[in-house]
């Protein structure tokens, strides 16, 4: 990955890697947690787990706004930041969303 690569593209690539290595990572973790396996085998599996790409871990994925790429204040259901959500809602661009008044 390049230094000038936008954050949204990096996050997308991390999502693809996490999806690709999800099964391997979960298997290795399950075997490592199993106390009945011999410790030598668990150490080998730990080494294999550490050789997987760092960006294939789900903890490195960040929810980002699909419009602005903003990493904070993102509504998960709409996948957009609070700022973009408010502007679109005020313009009436979001179906079923209207400003509360009582």
Number of domains within the chain: 2
Q: What would the pLDDT profile of 70-85 be if each residue is shown by its tens digit? A: 999 999 999 999 999 9
Asked if 44 and 85 sit in the same domain, the reply is no
Residue at 1 is within a domain: no
Domain range spanning residue 56? Answer: 7-62
Segments of the chain with pLDDT less than 70: 1-5
Rounded distance, CA 4 to CA 7, Å?
9
- State the pLDDT at residue 2: 45
- State the pLDDT at residue 1: 41
- State the pLDDT at residue 5: 61
Q: What would the pLDDT profile of 90-101 be if each residue is shown by its tens digit? A: 999 999 888 888
- State the pLDDT at residue 6: 83
Asked if 28 and 57 sit in the same domain, the reply is yes
Residue at 2 is within a domain: no
pTM beyond 0.85: no
Asked if 41 and 78 sit in the same domain, the reply is no
Asked if 55 and 71 sit in the same domain, the reply is no
What is the three-state SS of the chain? CCCCCCHHHHHHHHHHHHHHHHHHHHHHHHHHHCCCCCHHHHHHHHHHHHHCCHHHCHHHCCCCCCCCCCCCCEECCCCEEHHHHHHHHHCCCCCCCCCCCC
């Amino acid at each position: 990955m390049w230094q000038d690569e936008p954050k949204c593209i990096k996050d997308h690539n991390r999502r693809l890697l996490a999806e690709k290595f999800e099964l391997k990572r979960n298997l290795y973790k399950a075997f490592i947690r199993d106390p009945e396996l011999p410790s030598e085998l668990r150490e080998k599996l730990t080494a294999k787990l550490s050789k997987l790409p760092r960006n294939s871990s789900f903890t490195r994925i960040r929810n980002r706004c699909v419009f602005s790429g903003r990493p904070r204040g993102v509504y998960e259901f709409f996948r957009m930041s609070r700022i973009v959500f408010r502007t679109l809602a005020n313009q009436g661009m979001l179906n079923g969303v209207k400003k509360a008044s009582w």
